[in-house]
Amino acid sequence: MKLPSSVFLLACLLLTRSARADDNDDGFISLFNGKDLTGWVNVNCAPSTWTVRDNMIICTGIPTGVLHTTKQYENFILEADWMHLKTGGNSGIFVWSGALPICGQPFTKAVECQVLDGNHGDVFAIQGATFVPDRPHPKGWMRCLPTESRNHPAGQWNHYRIECQHGRVQLAVNGKVVAGGSKTTPRKGYIVLESEGSDIYFKNIRVKELPGSNVPDADVAETDRGFKSLYTGVDLTGWKVEGGQEAHWTAKDWNLDCDGKVEGEKKNLVSEKSYSDFELIIDWKTPARPAPQQVPIILGGTIPAAKITNPAGQWNRALISIENGKTKIAVNDHPPFAGPDIAGNQTPIILLHRPEGIQFANLYLRPLK
pLDDT of residue 341: 85
Taking residue 69's Cβ as centre, other Cβ atoms within 10 Å add up to 21
Burial class of residue 38 in the structure, from the number of CB atoms within 10 Å of its CB (0-12 exposed, 13-18 middle, 19+ buried): exposed
Domains 25-223 and 229-367 agree in fold: yes
Which residues, other chains included, contact 357 with Cβ-Cβ below 8 Å and sequence gap of 6+? 257, 258, 259, 260, 286, 287
pLDDT of residue 116: 93
Q: Tell me how far apart the alpha carbons of residues 95 and 78 are, in angstroms, rounded to a whole number.
A: 9
pLDDT value at residue 2: 43
Residue 50 burial class via C-beta count within 10 angstroms: exposed 0-12, middle 13-18, buried 19 and up? buried
Q: How many CB atoms lie within 10 A of CB 279?
A: 18
Distance CA 55, CA 74 (A): 27
Q: How far is CA 270 from CA 94, 239, 245, 262, 341, in A?
A: 34, 6, 11, 14, 19
Could you read off the pLDDT tens digit of each residue along the chain, which spans 369 residues? Answer: 443 444 333 333 333 333 333 445 689 999 999 999 999 999 999 999 999 999 999 999 999 999 999 999 999 999 999 999 999 999 999 999 999 999 999 999 999 999 999 888 999 999 999 999 999 999 999 999 999 999 999 999 999 999 999 999 999 999 999 999 999 999 999 999 999 999 999 999 999 999 999 999 999 999 999 999 999 999 999 999 988 899 999 999 999 999 999 988 899 999 999 999 999 999 999 987 656 678 898 887 888 877 788 888 899 999 999 999 899 999 998 999 888 888 777 899 999 999 899 999 999 999 998
User: For the domain 229-367, what is the CATH code?
Assistant: 2.60.120.560
Q: Where are the domains of the chain?
A: 25-223, 229-367
* Cα–Cα distance for residue pair 330/336, rounded to 1 Å: 4
Nearest to 285 by CA among 359, 205, 188: 359
pTM over 0.85: yes
- From residue 187, give the alpha-carbon distance in Å to each of 95, 97, 160, 178, 218: 8, 9, 19, 20, 9
- The amino acid occupying position 282 is I
Cα within 13 Å of Cα(118), Cβ side: 7
Give the helix ranges, DSSP H, for the chain. Answer: 5-19
Considering the domain delimited by 25-223, tell me its CATH architecture: Sandwich (2.60)
Closest CA to 363 of 195, 236, 262, 206: 236
Q: List helix spans (H) across 92-227.
A: none
